[in-house]
C-alpha cells in the first residue's frame, strides 16, 4: 500500500506528457478529406493525398470516384491513435457515415489510414480497413444505385436490371412488414448487392464458408433507446440465383422484418423467436403449409424425432450442420405460427415486444408467455411439440 502511494505521488509530480502532434495533424487532414467527399470537391480531395517525393498532382483515387453515386448525408473520421515512425504514421480512425434519407445513425467502420509527412505537412497515402474490420462496398468496385419506393439498392458488378429486381422485392417487403409489425419504424431499407459470396463475406468481415447457402443477412445493433441503428441487408447473389420468385420474396421480407424489429430485439430475445418471427412475416398471407415450408423438420417428426425443446441459439450457427440449421429455423417459424393460430397475430407481436423489453435472457420468455399468452414456458413447449406432430406427423 505504501509503495503504491509513493508511485502514485511520483506519477503526479512529473512534467506533463505532451501528446504526439501527429494525432491533431491526422485529424485535420482527415477532416479536410471528409469535407471534400461530402462536397464532391475533387480538388480539395486530391489536396489531401500524398503527392509523392516529386510533388505535383497526386494520382486519382478510385475510392473517391466510386462514392459518386452513393447519396451521403454525412462522412467523418475520428482519430483514435497513431503509430509514428519518422515521416510516416499509421492512424487508427473511426469512419462514420450516413446515407441521406435512410440512416438515422451512422455506420461506423474502423480504418487504418497511412499518412506521409512532406515539408512539414501530412498527407493520406492509404486508407484501408483496420485489421479484422469489414470492407465497404465501394472498395469492391464502382457502385451502381437504384432507388425504389421504400428502398435503396447499392450494387457492385451487376447491371441495373438486376438491381431493380431487388428494389421490387424490397418495395413489396416493407408494406408487408408494416402490416403486421406496425408503422413505428423507418419503413425503408438499404440493400447491398456485392458481386459474389466472397465479396459478401468481405462486407461482413467473416469467412465466406460461414455464409455459403445463406441468401442474405441483416447487420445492425440490437436494442437501445437512441436513434435507430443503420441496418444493411447484405445479399449473397450466389444463393439468390438459385431461389425462385417466391423464395426470393420470402427472404427479403424476412430481412426487412429484422430491420423493423431491431430496436425491440435485445439480448433477452432468443434466436428461435427473432428468426421465427421474421419467417412468420415472410410467409404471412402466402398460404404456405407447414409441410411445404418445413421439410427438414417434417422428416425428423416423421422419423419419430420430435424435438424435446425449442432451438438454442447455437442451433442457428451458419457454419454447422445445414440440416440442423434448417430445423432450427423451421421450429422457430412453427412456434410463431402456432401462437398466431391460437392467440392471434397481434398477440404474437405483443409477445415479441414483451420478450425484448425484459432486459435479460433469464426469465424473459417465461415472463412474456405468462403476461401475454397466460401459460408457462413448459406448457408452451408441450403445446408446440403437439402442434409439430399434428402439422408434420
Residue-level pLDDT at 55: 75
Tell me the C-alpha distance between 8 and 10, whole Å. 5
Within 8 A by CB and 6+ apart from 304, the residues are none
- pLDDT tens, N- to C-terminus, the chain (393 residues): 333 333 233 334 444 434 568 899 999 999 999 999 999 999 999 999 999 887 777 878 889 999 988 999 999 999 999 999 999 999 999 999 999 999 988 999 999 999 999 999 999 999 999 999 999 999 999 999 999 999 999 999 999 999 999 999 999 999 999 999 999 999 999 999 999 999 999 999 999 988 888 999 999 766 554 555 579 999 999 999 899 999 999 999 999 999 999 999 999 999 999 999 999 999 999 999 999 999 999 999 999 999 999 999 999 987 668 899 999 999 999 999 999 999 999 999 999 999 999 989 999 999 999 999 999 999 999 999 999 999 998
232-235 and 189-193 strand pairing: parallel
pLDDT at 210: 86
Q: How far apart are CA 242 and CA 24, in angstroms?
A: 51
What DSSP string runs through 51-67? --TT-SPPPP-HHHHHG
Domains (range + CATH), the chain: 21-132 (3.10.450.50), 134-261 (3.30.2010.30), 265-393 (no CATH)
End-to-end Cα spacing for the chain: 70
- Grid cell for residue 219: 447487420
Q: What is the pLDDT of residue 38?
A: 96
State residue 57's pLDDT score: 78
Range 28-53 burial, b when 16+ CB lie within 10 A, else e: ebbebbbebbeeeeeeebbbbbbbee
C-alpha cell at 223: 436494442
User: What is the rounded CA–CA span in Å between residue 380 and residue 370?
Assistant: 10
Amino acid at each position: 500500500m505504501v509503495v503504491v502511494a509513493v508511485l502514485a505521488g511520483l506519477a503526479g509530480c512529473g512534467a506533463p506528457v505532451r501528446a504526439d502532434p501527429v494525432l491533431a495533424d491526422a485529424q485535420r487532414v482527415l477532416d479536410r478529406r471528409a469535407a471534400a467527399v461530402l462536397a464532391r470537391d475533387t480538388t480539395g480531395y486530391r489536396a489531401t493525398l500524398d503527392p509523392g517525393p516529386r510533388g505535383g498532382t497526386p494520382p486519382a483515387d478510385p475510392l473517391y470516384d466510386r462514392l459518386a453515386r452513393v447519396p451521403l448525408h454525412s462522412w467523418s473520421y475520428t482519430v483514435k491513435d497513431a503509430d509514428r515512425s519518422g515521416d510516416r504514421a499509421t492512424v487508427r480512425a473511426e469512419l462514420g457515415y450516413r446515407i441521406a434519407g435512410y440512416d438515422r445513425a451512422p455506420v461506423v467502420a474502423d480504418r487504418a489510414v497511412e499518412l506521409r509527412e512532406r515539408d512539414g505537412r501530412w498527407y493520406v497515402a492509404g486508407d484501408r480497413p483496420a485489421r479484422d474490420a469489414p470492407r465497404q462496398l465501394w472498395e469492391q468496385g464502382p457502385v451502381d444505385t437504384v432507388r425504389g419506393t421504400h428502398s435503396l439498392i447499392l450494387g457492385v458488378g451487376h447491371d441495373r436490371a438486376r438491381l431493380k429486381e431487388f428494389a421490387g422485392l424490397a418495395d413489396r417487403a416493407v408494406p408487408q412488414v408494416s402490416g403486421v409489425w406496425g408503422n413505428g419504424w423507418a419503413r425503408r431499407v438499404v440493400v447491398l448487392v456485392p458481386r459474389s459470396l466472397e465479396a459478401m463475406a468481405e462486407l461482413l468481415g467473416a469467412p465466406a464458408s460461414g455464409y455459403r447457402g445463406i441468401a442474405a443477412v441483416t447487420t445492425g445493433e440490437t436494442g437501445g433507446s437512441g436513434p435507430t441503428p443503420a441496418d444493411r441487408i447484405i445479399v449473397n447473389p450466389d444463393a439468390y440465383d438459385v431461389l425462385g420468385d417466391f423464395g426470393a420474396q420470402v427472404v427479403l421480407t424476412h430481412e426487412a422484418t429484422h430491420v423493423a424489429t431491431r430496436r425491440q430485439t435485445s439480448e433477452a430475445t432468443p434466436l428461435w423467436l427473432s428468426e421465427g418471427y421474421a419467417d412468420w412475416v415472410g410467409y404471412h398471407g402466402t398460404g404456405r403449409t407447414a409441410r411445404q415450408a418445413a421439410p427438414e423438420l417434417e422428416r425428423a417428426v416423421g422419423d419419430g424425432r420430435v424435438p424435446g425443446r425449442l432451438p438454442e441459439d447455437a442451433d442457428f450457427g451458419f457454419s454447422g450442420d445445414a440440416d440442423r440449421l434448417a430445423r432450427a429455423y423451421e421450429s422457430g417459424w412453427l412456434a410463431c405460427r402456432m401462437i398466431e393460430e391460437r392467440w392471434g397475430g397481434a398477440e404474437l407481436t405483443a409477445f415479441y415486444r414483451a420478450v425484448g423489453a425484459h432486459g435479460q435472457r433469464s426469465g424473459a420468455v417465461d415472463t412474456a408467455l405468462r403476461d401475454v399468452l397466460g401459460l408457462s414456458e413448459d406448457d408452451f413447449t408441450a403445446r408446440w411439440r403437439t402442434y409439430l406432430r399434428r402439422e408434420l406427423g
